[in-house]
Amino acid sequence: MTGEPLLSGPRRPRARRGEGDLLRADILAAAERLLIETGDQGAVSVRAIADAAGVTPPSIYLHFADKTELLFAVCEARFDDFDQYMTEAIRDIADPLEALWERGRAYVRFGTENPEHYRILFMTRPLPDATPAPPDRLPGLAAFSHLVEDVGRCMAAGAIADGDAFLVATSLWAVVHGITSLLIARPDFPWPDLDRLMGHIVDVHTRGLSA
């Protein structure tokens, strides 16, 4: 890294009253572009984000306490999109077990169709000096909570053995994350057809979790 900003733009005029939300959105968009381009949040500085958004660094601190808070906001927005994507995928599915597995397929699709976003969400190291997020503000908590709810519905319907829904959801997340990250990190591997691979995984886990 040379220390020079990766993206830059002309300085924008001072925001008028009422334009603060627009400026905040522009800062978030610039930070996300830099994160995607570098693939490393440690390489993205506040100055580079400011140059990419066409503002001065002090303008960023009017909206975010520090870089950690800014990057947290970027990832939080992506998690909202991720959660909505999976929710839409199962909206019209009545069978709880089918909905559970379709959520998993949607997870893998989102990751493989948005590899840079997925890297930011799940494959980027935390900053060494990052302050851990409070438990109720962990990025992706809503998406994971919906997975736990799906597992609970399957247990209530007798589709899978009754037990610890949180534990089962965590293990299923580990499975789909492993597949997704491998597909992204090793695209040159001779993977089987994705539908066939997911079908095999669904079959194995359905039998393993059966009541």
**CA pair distance 108, 180, nearest whole angstrom:** 5
Q: How confident is the model at residue 138 (pLDDT cuts 50, 70, 90)?
A: low
What pLDDT is recorded for position 154?
A: 95
- 15 CA to centre of own chain: 30
What pLDDT is recorded for position 38?
A: 83
Q: What sign results for the dihedral spanned by CA atoms 180, 184, 187, 189?
A: negative
Fold held by 75-209: Tetracycline Repressor; domain 2 (1.10.357)
The identity of residue 130, as a single letter, is A
What pLDDT is recorded for position 15?
A: 46
Mean pLDDT (the chain, rounded): 84
Please give the average per-residue pLDDT across 42-69, as a whole number: 91
Nearest residue to 118 (alpha-carbon basis) of 173, 169, 175, 79: 79
Give the pair of three-digit tokens for residue 201. 């995984």
Rg, C-alpha atoms of the chain: 20
Q: Cβ(34)–Cβ(48) under 8 Å?
A: yes
Where are the domain boundaries for CATH 1.10.10.60 in the chain?
Answer: 1-64
Sorted by sequence, the CB contacts under 8 Å of residue 203 that are 6+ apart come out as none
Residue with tokens 């930011």: 120
Instruction: Say which CATH class 1-64 falls into.
Output: mainly alpha
Please state whether the predicted TM-score (pTM) of the whole model is above 0.85.
no
Where are the domain boundaries for CATH 1.10.357.10 in the chain?
Answer: 75-209
Of 106 and 15, more confident: 106
Q: How confident is the model at residue 139 (pLDDT cuts 50, 70, 90)?
A: low
